[in-house]
Amino acid sequence: MMEFISFPRHARKGLDLRHQTKEERVADYLREGIISGRFPRGSKLKQAELAEMIGTSITPVREAIKILEAEGFVLGASHRGAVVAPFDIHATEEIVDLRVTLESKLALAAIAKLTPQNMEELRTLQQEFEAAAMRGDRDAVRGINYRFHELIYMAADLPQTLRFVRILWARYPFDLINKLDNRIDRALAEHREMLSAIIVRDEAAMLSALRTHIRAGWDEFKANYAG
């Protein structure tokens, strides 16, 4: 059984999540699991199995799934079980534009608020990214990518903006993009650029690197999909 404290690293240190409810922590764990591919698109999320896996009661799992349903990560939350939502390729161009706008706003608000502990956490995540990329572990890379961005954006302290970003993430094909040849290596280089800018608090460089990172994966996916 997975203990509750084995949630993503930023849920244990780096960011102050003392006021986060248990269902919000479960939602964070499941959200990362969906983005990383641990819970594939179209798969069923069974409350009892998840509760046993995480090491908690069914109630916070049920409430967490409701949060994810509202965000669009899952469909049909009920006693029969929720299903991880698919994505609509025809809507993704607009989603990318919205991601650039909202995530730039969050990153800009966060850059001055990130603490030394946050910075150390980002460095650690980058090291984990490097190791996962060397192993060719695509699922780990997606999870680390999620935690990297989530840590930054939570520091912005703009919860409504972050909520809308999560809604966009639910509709974005992270899993398919990371299957592209050599995409992991390119994403790794993009993260290096972002982290370097964040460490010196260079807003212009950080925004440029972030926007490149968001658009690059989608542009590569479109090129391959069209082909």
- Residue 195 pLDDT > 80, yes or no? yes
Tell me the pLDDT tens digit for each residue of 34-66: 888 889 888 999 889 999 998 889 999 999 999
What's the pLDDT score for residue 226?
Answer: 57
Distances from the Cα of 12 to the Cαs of 29, 32, 128, 153, in angstroms? 12, 15, 16, 16
Which residue from 4, 11, 83 is spatially nearest to 47, judged by alpha carbons?
83
Work out the average pLDDT over 1-27: 53
What's the pLDDT score for residue 80?
Answer: 62
Cα 36 to Cα 217: distance, rounded to the nearest angstrom:
15
| Range name among 100-104, 137-141, 150-154 with the lowest pLDDT average | 137-141
What's the pLDDT score for residue 11?
Answer: 39
Cβ partners under 8 Å of residue 194, min gap 6: 206, 209, 210, 213
DSSP secondary structure letter of residue 13:
T
CATH number of 4-84, picked from 2.60.40.2890, 1.20.120.1200, 1.10.10.10, 1.25.40.320: 1.10.10.10
- The dotted CATH code for 89-226 is 1.20.120.530
Amino acid at 22: K
What's the pLDDT score for residue 209?
Answer: 97
- The sign of the torsion formed by the CA atoms of 149, 182, 38, 69 equals positive
Q: Which residues of 83-118 are buried (b: 16+ CB within 10 A; e: fewer)?
A: bbbebeeeebeebbeebbebbbbbbebbbeebeeeb
Is residue 6 very low, low, confident or very high in pLDDT (cuts 50, 70, 90)?
very low
Domain range list for the chain: 4-84, 89-226
Work out the average pLDDT over 184-209: 96
CB count in 10 Å sphere of residue 160: 7
Cβ partners under 8 Å of residue 140, min gap 6: 36, 128, 132
- Residue 4 pLDDT > 60, yes or no? no
- Residue 12 pLDDT > 70, yes or no? no
Tell me the pLDDT tens digit for each residue of 161-175: 999 999 999 888 888
Work out the average pLDDT over 174-193: 89
Cα 171 to Cα 47: distance, rounded to the nearest angstrom:
22
Tell me the pLDDT tens digit for each residue of 78-132: 556 689 988 777 788 899 999 999 999 999 999 999 999 999 999 999 999 999 9
CB count in 10 Å sphere of residue 129: 23
Residues paired with residue 82 on neighbouring β-strands, in sequence order: 45
Question: 45, 74 in Cβ contact below 8 A?
Answer: yes
Please give the backbone phi and psi of residue 44, each rounded to the nearest 5 degrees, phi first. -95, 135
